[in-house]
A and B are shown apart, each in its own frame.
Chain A
Amino acid sequence: MDAAISSILFYLFATIAVLSAFGVVASRNPVNSAMCMALSFASTAAVYFGMGAQFLGIVQIIVYAGAILVLFLFVVMMLDVKSEEANLSNLPRAIIGVVIAGVFAGMVTKAALLLPGATDGVCPVKALCCEDCKPEATAATAEGELSGGALPQLAEDNADVKTLGATLFSQYNIPFVILSFALLAGTVGAVALGRKIRKD
């Protein structure tokens, strides 16, 4: 029953995520796009929750809630929504878009193929949504974790936080630091730009 519920929820939220992601590119109104994006990220977070990665899910919401708000502000302050709605797309732009989307789709496919159980005949989606982890799922007692059980049951309170932190700060420490510097450079750049405008 546990597994069935988490499968249903997975398919529900995955559908919402994909449909709203389609809405981001399909809608003419940039505000609609931004809101669809928020919905898409929120349902992705719900999928993470279903897989027991609660920390990842909640960080997704915290980070992107603020980010999309800022995006929304950019849309509202810098774009003229009415003229954007009338703007028809042209061919070169569409081609560039297709190329970038293709590259990303290839990346995601590669990552999905690397998942455990992806190549030996088990569907990667099934591997994600705990069909073959039934022992763990039924072993969860009445007041157990909410996780569906794709990951092995985490014994401690905040084991997923610990696992994520340990991985990020040991195995992937150098990429992590480099990325932080990239973000810091962006922040410093934004501050520099902001100050310059104020002085004029």
Chain B
Amino acid sequence: MEHNVLASILANGCDSACCGMWFYLIVTILKLVLVFAVILAFVVLSVWIERRVAGWIQDRPGPNRAGIPLHLFQRFGSKEEQPCKKLLHFFGVPQDCWIAKLFRWLKLDREIPTFGLMQPCLDGAKLFLKQELTPSYVRKVYFTLAPMLVLGPPLVAAAVIPFASGFSTPLGDVNMCVANLGIGPLWIFAISGLSVYGLTLAGWSSNSKYPFLGGLRATAQLISYEVAMGLSIIPLLMMFGTLNLQSIVQYQADNGWTLLPLWGEGLTWERWFMMLPMLISFVVFVTCVFAEANRTPFDMAECETDLVGGYHSEYSSMKFASFFMGEYAAMVIGSALVVTLFLGGWSIGFGADAALHNWCDWFAVICQFVMFLIKLVAFIFFFVWVRWTLPRFRWDQVMKLGWLVFLEVTVANIFLTAAIIYFIN
């Protein structure tokens, strides 16, 4: 409703063309803020997921503290000394029954639990307040520029990801995608590929051996895997016939997700033949996304067993935090792209999208947005799961996999898809 109100205020003093312009500008800025907030919130959330899942996989609690202590409220003037005890008393629950014990076990009598969700925020605050140490031997300009180049690109790349379908208002249609470009996936490849400049420059400008090796590895890895990544989505583009991510998701909402064609045209046997090249594409693409995001088993650039800390060895405080956040932002963008291309993006599936749109546009958009976030969280969980399951590859294995396996497989896959399309039509 916000859009409507703002736009109608502006409409009073404007003619219709100018008003359309203002409407477009305001809606775009609102969408930008929303995407920015979602990505940054997901950076924090994925750090938390990473730690909790790591703890779960390794059979330890993980970060479960950092609750908000209740005596904090007391200090700010709250007269409630023991809110938990008073609450129990209010409902007439005795202090030694199982509910009270459960409350005490959850530490509800001492703090408001956050299940460790505050931990990444507090870590961020700690890094922000730490002393920043710049070694004297670094090349200062590039040393400062590098963290920005790592954190910036993933945030820009998010602009083309559609996070819900559109709806129409009296003043114009709103497309829930910041920049509805006709080149969606290429935009993300190009822009998020730029973040490797940050790694390379960080490695070079640190002017010491291990960071330099880390930077070189990052470069070689990007060049090797970007080829396979670009080629692996060509079968998808052949099937969809468009490069626009919003249209790709719309197609999947109508005719079944790429990997789950269970409604619409997805029920035809042609689509089930297409599953083979799609699955190959999916495996190659997801592996390449791991490699591009520099995550274990592909974190050669910061592999602590042979390179100390890799490209960020010489960084401290907020500059280190930028690298850290950049890595997680790249992971969020990679997950969003995989979800958009293979898992239906915002679509709820089973024809529910069209039905919801017929009923109420607004409600449909909100449901789709929530659906997109759920899928995103699920895929980030998968990312973390892989990290704590597979050991790190050796460097020569990474190169071999990129050039001798993926490149050939993706090229063969393109021909396979072309053959299937040719013989079916």
Contacts and interface: CB of A to CB of B under 8 A. Distances in A.
Interface in B128-182: 142, 166, 171-175, 179-182
11 contacts: A1-B18, A54-B182, A61-B193, A69-B196, A69-B197, A69-B200, A142-B27, A142-B171, A145-B182, A154-B182, A158-B182
Contacts of A59: 186
Contacts of B23: 142
Interface of A: 1-2, 31, 35, 38, 54-55, 58-59, 61-62, 65-66, 69-70, 72-73, 76, 138, 141-143, 145-146, 154, 156-161
A168 B335 CA distance: 34
By CB atoms of chain A within 10 A, which of B190, B219, B230 has the most? Answer: B190
B35 interface: no
B244 A73 contact: no
B222 interface: yes
A72 B183 CA distance: 28
Interface of B: 17-18, 20-21, 23-24, 27, 142, 166, 171-175, 179-183, 186-187, 189-191, 193-194, 196-197, 200-201, 204, 216, 219, 222-223, 226, 230, 242-244, 247
Contacts of B172: 141-143
Contacts of B223: 66, 69-70
A55 B226 contact: no
A55 B190 CA distance: 11
A161 B183 contact: yes
Contact of A54 (B20, B173, B183, B189): B183
Contact of B186 (A1, A2, A62, A142): A62
Nearest to A157: B244
Contacts of B182: 54-55, 145, 154, 156-161
Contact of A143 (B175, B197, B230): B175
A142 B175 CA distance: 10
B216 A1 contact: no
A163 to B, nearest CB: 11
B188 to A, nearest CB: 10
B389 to A, nearest CB: 31
A62 B247 contact: no
B243 A157 contact: yes
Contacts of A35: 142, 201
B219 A58 contact: no
Contacts of B244: 157-158
B243 A158 contact: yes
A55 B186 contact: yes
